[in-house]
Amino acid sequence: MIFSGYADLIQESREKGEELWHYILLADANEKGISEEESMEMMNHLWEAMKMASDNYDGTRKSASGLSGGNGAKMKAYKEKCISGEFIGEVIAEAISMGESNACMRRIVAAPTAGSCGVLPAVLIPYCRKYQVPDQKVIEALYLTAGMGGVIATRASIAGAEGGCQAEIGSASAMAAAALVYLAGGTLEQTADAAALALKGLLGLVCDPIAGLVEVPCVKRNVIGAVNAITAVDMVMAGVTSFVPVDQVIDAMGEIGRNMLPMYRETGEGGLAATPAARKVKQQDFRKA
Ligand code: SF4
């Protein structure tokens, strides 16, 4: 969806007397040429697919490269002992599990991309489990994430190849933060502020996948995106605001992405991908295995 700005979305929805999530739903239905009910069904299908991907995680699987697999299961077993508390332990486990499922070619929901597929479910699933959030409310929150994602894609980018990892994990973190504020009963302004804080925290993050695979550092960066979103939400719900409005943060992210050297934009040639440890992986011909 093409949206010029999140502040505009809030204002337009209020002018039309619509709740923001429903205003975005109408835009989605209009863009796809479908009914409101069909749009809701599609969003519900995405939520169900996310939960199913979580339920179907298999900790015994390894990716073809051998770089990914099993850490989600380790985190699940450890979560009660987490220094950051059991809830964050669940969030970490969920984020890693989803990232590993993607690396193992299992079914996941790209949100907004496959590389960042673990952030949104890692924030939503443990929260909804803990607070027994009805599916309808989650679907409403998902429309806010779609709106936020649409704004980011319009004003900047959601692709690592264009804007670095800030555009993938950063965007996912901002989208998840907006959704979680909504579920936590915050205002629309607070959804904007939480997204701004989340994205600000990840500005400049480069895309440097080892051997060009969406595995290292991608899988564990989903954890950072998820936990970053939750801390942004907690700050906002406590009354903290973002000095820079979210639309301007998105513009800054776009500017940084445009000025990022190509070696930091998914080419697998810079950053972590250029370390000796990464070069060893690159020399392996595991793709033929
Ligand atoms: S490092 Fe690149 S490929 Fe990996 S999650 Fe980030 S943007 Fe995606």
Residues 223-234: tens digit of each pLDDT: 999 999 999 999
Residue 205 CA: which ligand 1 atom is closest? Answer: 6
Distance 160 CA to ligand 1 centre (A): 6
- Best residue among 169, 206, 256 to mutate for probing ligand 1's pocket (most ligand atoms within 8 Å of CB) is 169
Q: Which residues does 121 contact at the CB level (< 8 Å), separation at least 6? A: 50, 51, 53, 54, 94, 95, 98, 109, 111
Ligand 1 pocket, residues with Cβ under 6 angstroms = 115-116, 160, 165, 168-169, 207-209, 214, 217-218, 221, 266
Nearest CA to ligand 1 atom 6: 165
Contact 245, 194 (CB under 8 A): no
Alpha carbons 231 and 146: distance in angstroms, whole number: 21
Asked whether the predicted pLDDT for residue 114 surpasses 50, the reply is yes
Quote the pLDDT of residue 284. 80
Asked whether the predicted pLDDT for residue 275 surpasses 80, the reply is yes
Nearest CA to ligand 1 atom 1: 207
Nearest CA to ligand 1 atom 8: 115
Asked whether the predicted pLDDT for residue 286 surpasses 70, the reply is no
Nearest CA to ligand 1 atom 4: 218
Alpha carbons 190 and 234: distance in angstroms, whole number: 11
Asked whether the predicted pLDDT for residue 163 surpasses 90, the reply is yes
Quote the pLDDT of residue 3. 94
Q: What whole-number percentage of the chain has pLDDT above 70?
A: 98
Nearest CA to ligand 1 atom 2: 207
Residues 91-104 have pLDDT tens digits of 999 999 999 999 99
What are φ and ψ of residue 73, in 5° steps?
Answer: -65, -40
Measured in whole angstroms, the distance separating CA 271 from the mean position of its chain's CA atoms is: 22
Taking phi first (over 0 means left), then psi (-120 to 50 degrees means alpha), and beta for anything else, what does residue 205 get? beta
Write down the mean pLDDT value for the chain.
97
Residues 254-272 have pLDDT tens digits of 999 999 999 999 999 999 9
Quote the pLDDT of residue 1. 82
Distance 141 CA to ligand 1 centre (A): 25
Residue 113 CA: which ligand 1 atom is closest? Answer: 8
CA–CA distances in Å: residue 255 to residues 148, 166, 170, 182 = 18, 11, 14, 28
State the pTM of this model. 0.97
Q: What whole-number percentage of the chain has pLDDT above 90?
A: 97
Alpha carbons 118 and 114: distance in angstroms, whole number: 8
- Find the mean pLDDT for residues 126-131: 98
Residues 198-251 have pLDDT tens digits of 999 999 999 999 999 999 999 999 999 999 999 999 999 999 999 999 999 999
Domain ranges of the chain: 6-288
Rg (CA), the chain: 18
Residue 206 CA: which ligand 1 atom is closest? Answer: 1
Tokens read off for 107 = 């079914």
Quote the pLDDT of residue 282. 81
Quote the pLDDT of residue 285. 62
Quote the pLDDT of residue 289. 44
Distance 94 CA to ligand 1 centre (A): 18
